[in-house]
Amino acid sequence: MIITLIGYRGSGKTSVAAGLAERLGFDWVDADVVIEQTAGRSIREIFAAEGEPGFRQRERAVICELLRREKLVLAAGGGAILDADTRRDLKLAGPVVWLQASVDVLAERISGDPTTAERRPNLAGGGRAEIERVLAIREPLYRECATFTIFTDRLSVAEIIDRIAIAVAARRPPGVNR
């Protein structure tokens, strides 16, 4: 089984993936890190050299490869859900959890992350306005793809992990262990 975490940048996908994987005895991976490792450059640099279409092509290839694994928690990039085939494949691989947060919380988390500016491209001008514009496009796709949605604003990483573990266990057929 693969558990995929989706959501906007700053929603907590990477932090939750590591803890959830440890709790379940799964491996975990951040798809954006794999993309950067295979490309030998940051996402910002990939966007600059290849544009968003080039990046999305790389993202699709990496996710297809990762979905061949078992017992994996996958932190998908915030825009991975833009591709209809990727949305379908994520849902077929196992539960998809949308880590949803308010614009204010996302803006606060992103501005507090020192790696954001050097690693991530501005998609729509930056700041709160960018988050609002991009979410207007992505929220219906997150909703379509998600098996579960967890609103993370007032939850700790441990509380989010608890909620996901309980929800995933409830969906597992009797007698199936991890």
Residue 115 neighbours by CB distance under 10 Å: 8
The pTM assigned to this predicted structure is 0.88
Domain boundaries, the chain: 2-169
* pLDDT, one tens digit for every residue, the chain (178 residues): 999 999 998 899 999 999 999 999 999 999 999 999 999 999 989 999 999 999 999 999 999 999 999 999 999 999 999 999 999 999 999 999 999 999 999 988 887 655 554 555 545 446 788 899 999 999 999 999 999 999 999 999 999 999 999 998 887 654 444 4
Backbone angles phi, psi at 30, to 5 degrees: -100, 115
3-state secondary structure 46-106: HHHHHHHHHHHHHHHHHHHHHCCCCCEEEECCCCHHHCHHHHHHHHHHCCEEEEECCHHHH
CATH class of this structure's domain 2-169: alpha beta
